[in-house]
Amino acid sequence: MAVCGRIFGIVSRQCNGKQVVVTIPNIRPRPIQGLCINITPLIKSHDLRQFYKLFPGHDTECRQVNGKLKEAETAAIFSNRSQLEEILNKTHKKEHRMELTEIYDKGDAFFRDKDYGRLLNYVETGFIKKNDRRIFDRFTFRQKCIDAEEANTACSILGIDLKTPVIMSSMTMPIPAIADDALMQSARGLKAAGSLMWTGTPIPGNLKELANSGVPLAANVKPLKNRDKMYADIENILAAGVTWIGVEVDSGQGTKVVDQEMGFDCTPFTAREIEQIKNKVNLPLVCKGVLSQEDAVKCVDAGADAIVISSHGGHTLDYLPHPLQVMDEIVSAVEGRIEIIVDGGFRRGSDVLKGLAFGASLVGLGRPILYGLAAGGDSGVTDVINGITRELSRLMTMVGASDPGRIHRDILVVD
C-alpha cells in the first residue's frame, strides 16, 4: 500500500514497560510502501540491538522519518501487518537474564573447546589460582542489619561516574578470538552496566571506536625494551580519546602461561620513567601490578593517580601473594594520596565486598568478563557486572554500608 501525507493507523503494545506505537507517519515528498513501526521507545530503553537481532537486515532500512516528528522518532519499514505483529510479539517477550553460575559454566565450557582457552591458565604450577580462593575464604562478614539502609553502589573516581565499583580488568587477549566484534560487544555490555572497560596489549586497532562508544575506557602499555615504540603506543592511546592511561609495572619480564613465556621484549620501568610518562600525558595515570609498599610509594612519588594491586591474572610470576595479603601495608604506606584498585580472582559480590573493605575504590574482573562474553556477547558481559553488583548491594545493605564510601574493614571477621 502507498501512504503519503497522513497518519494511516496506530497499534500500541507494552514492550519492556514502555509503550511501542506503530504508525504510518506523515512522509513527504514521496510515498513509502509498507507499514512503519516507531522504535523510539526501544532506542530509549537500549533495546535497539535486540530489535536488529530479531530482524537482521532491517537496520539498513531504519532511518529518520520526517524531521518534524517529535524527538526525531525513528521508524523501520515492514512489508505487511503480520510481519509488524511478529516484531511486536517478539520484542514483548522478556529477555532471558543469565545468572552468574550459568554464565561461568557456559563460559568455562566454551574455552575448554578452544585452543586459545589455554590463555586462561596460570603461570607454571598454578599456585596463584589455589591461593586466591584460600585467601578469600579466610574472611566472613559481620552482619549489622538493624536500622540498615538500602545500599547504593554508585561511585565516582578520577573524574568518572560509575553505577558500580565492579569494572573490567586490563586485557585484550583473547577477546578478539571470541568473535569478530568481541571488543565492541564488551564495550556495549560494560556501558549498559554503567561500568568501565580496560584494554591491555596488544593495543586494539579499534581503540578509538571503543572510546567513541561512550564507555569509560582505560588502556595500558607494557614496558617495552624499545622505549620509542612504547612512547609511540602512548601517543596512539592518547589520540584515541581514552579516559585513563595505564602502565604495566609488573610486566618487566613479560608474561608466562604455564610453561610458555610471552612478551620477551620487556624490561622493568624505572621510577623516573613513570614520572616522565606522567609529565607527558594529560590524563589520569594508573600503575598496574603493584604488590608491595615500596613500589606503591614509588608510584605515588612519581605522580601516578592510581595503582592496581594485582598479580596480573596469574600470568607473570609464580607464587605471588593475593592482593588482600599485601593491601594493609600498601594502604598504610600511601596514606590516601592515591586511588587504589584491586583485581585477582574476584568472582562474586562477596569477593568484591572484601576487596572494598580492604581499601580499594574499584574491583576488576578478568575471566568473568571473558565468560560473560563467551556465554552471551554484550548482554552476557552486562549480566556479569549486574549480577555481581546485585550480590554486592545485598551484602552492603546487610553489613550496614549504604554506599561504597562507607565500607570499612570492621565488616570483616578473620578466620
Alpha carbons within 13 angstroms on the beta-carbon side of residue 134 total 8
Q: How many residues does the chain have?
A: 415
Catalytic, 312? Answer yes
Identify the DSSP state of 142. -
Burial class (CB in 10 A: 0-12, 13-18, 19+), 166: buried
C-alpha 400/C-alpha 218 separation (Å) is 32
Q: Pick the catalytic residue from 312, 315, 322, 408.
A: 312
Q: Which long-range contacts (CB under 8 A, 24 or more apart) does 351-354 make?
A: 351/136, 352/165, 352/166, 352/388, 352/391, 352/392, 353/141, 353/392, 353/395, 353/396, 353/399, 353/407, 353/411, 354/136, 354/139, 354/324, 354/412
Q: Which residues contact 113 (CB under 8 A, 6 or more apart)?
A: none
Residue 113, SS3? coil
Q: What cell numbers appear for 255 in the block?
A: 608474561
Q: Which residues contact 391 (CB under 8 A, 6 or more apart)?
A: 100, 348, 349, 350, 352
Identify the DSSP state of 238. H
C-alpha 166/C-alpha 67 separation (Å) is 40
Task: Give the burial string for 169-185 (b: 16+ CB within 10 Å, else e).
Answer: bbbbebbbebeeebbbb
* 312, 250 contact by CB (below 8 A): yes
C-alpha 360/C-alpha 139 separation (Å) is 16
Helix (H) or strand (E) holding 316: none
Amino acid symbol at 253: Q
What is the CB neighbour count within 10 angstroms for residue 150? 9
Q: Which residues are catalytic?
A: 312
